[in-house]
Amino acid sequence: MTLFDPPPQPAQRPTLPSMGGLLSLETLAEDAARLEGRIGQVMLSDPQSWKGPDADLDAVGSAAEAAGVGLYVHAPYLINVATTNNRVRIPSRGLLQKTLDAAAAVGARGVVVHGGHVQAGDDPAQGFDNWRKAVDGLRLRVPLLIENTAGGANAMARQLDRLAALWSLLSACDNAEQVGFCLDTCHAHAAGLALDGLVGRVMEITGRIDLVHLNDSRGAFGSGVDRHANLGQGDCDPNGLRRVVADANAPVIVETPGGLDGQRADLDWLRQA
């Protein structure tokens, strides 16, 4: 180094995306402040009920706006628009529309819904086409974010080849620009998808990742077990988790155990990486 050389510059830490965790409707602003998150995820109804959103939507939207928190809504877990079972598929479409409408009313950035599955012995093509019909019939005033799943032999969004088949149909829908993808790292690990390089492989299929559910996994690689663990304390490669965040460059929600304390520790783990 000569007198004319510039001094070495300190290494720049990568800019982290917007991050947050799971917020209670009753204490939304306080929860977000405790997590120091700019975003959060909420449920607007009982996740195991067909009744639909029963929250005070005006109050939820006002609280989020006052706190400066961007909301994502997770749809009820019962929804399965892919199934060939009419008794599940038809009410699933109705409940998904109600959830989308409620999400729009609170100013949400998107609705996350699981990819679903068809019954054992069914042709997966039926599930893909049921998804197409559902999307064609939905009013999407907010983005619909399809989430990959951990298990299920006949799942629509567990393996990448199934995801590719699904996306090839959905990309032709009139409102395809309102259909996005939510990548869950626990689900991917449990499904047998290596986290290293996963973002690139998904992007080749979907062209987008709108949200990352950053969760470690209590289940082993390829186990199909959907059990979330705190970051760095499960079976996922910690560097793989960090790489997903860096490569996706998308908002991050942690859905990890331990309530707000556990999620705050996980967000701090990521911030200090």
Positive/negative CA dihedral, 173, 177, 178, 181: positive
At residue 207, the 3 state secondary structure works out as: coil
Q: What is the pLDDT of residue 85?
A: 97
Mean pLDDT of 242-268: 98
Q: Binning pLDDT at 50, 70 and 90, where does residue 4 land?
A: low
* Residue 25: CA count within 13 A, CB half-sphere: 18
For residue 77, which amino acid is it?
Y
pLDDT tens, residue by residue, 112-170 = 999 999 999 999 999 999 999 999 999 999 999 999 999 988 999 999 999 999 999 99
Q: What is the pLDDT of residue 15?
A: 78
**pLDDT higher than 50, residue 11:** no
pLDDT tens, residue by residue, 44-65 = 999 999 999 999 999 999 999 9
**pLDDT higher than 80, residue 10:** no
Q: CB–CB of 91/134 below 8 Å? A: no
Q: Binning pLDDT at 50, 70 and 90, where does residue 198 land?
A: very high
Q: What is the pLDDT of residue 47?
A: 96
For domain 71-271, give the CATH number: 3.20.20.150
At residue 44, the 3 state secondary structure works out as: coil
Q: What is the pLDDT of residue 3?
A: 47
pLDDT averaged over the chain? 95
Q: Which of 1-15, 18-32, 69-83 has the lowest mean pLDDT?
A: 1-15
Rounded distance, CA 158 to CA 152, Å?
8
The tokens describing 143, both together, are 């983005």
Cα Rg, the chain, nearest whole Å: 19
pTM above 0.85, yes or no: yes
Q: What is the pLDDT of residue 9?
A: 52
Of the chain, the percentage scoring pLDDT greater than 70 comes to: 95
The tokens describing 231, both together, are 């970051």
**pLDDT higher than 60, residue 252:** yes
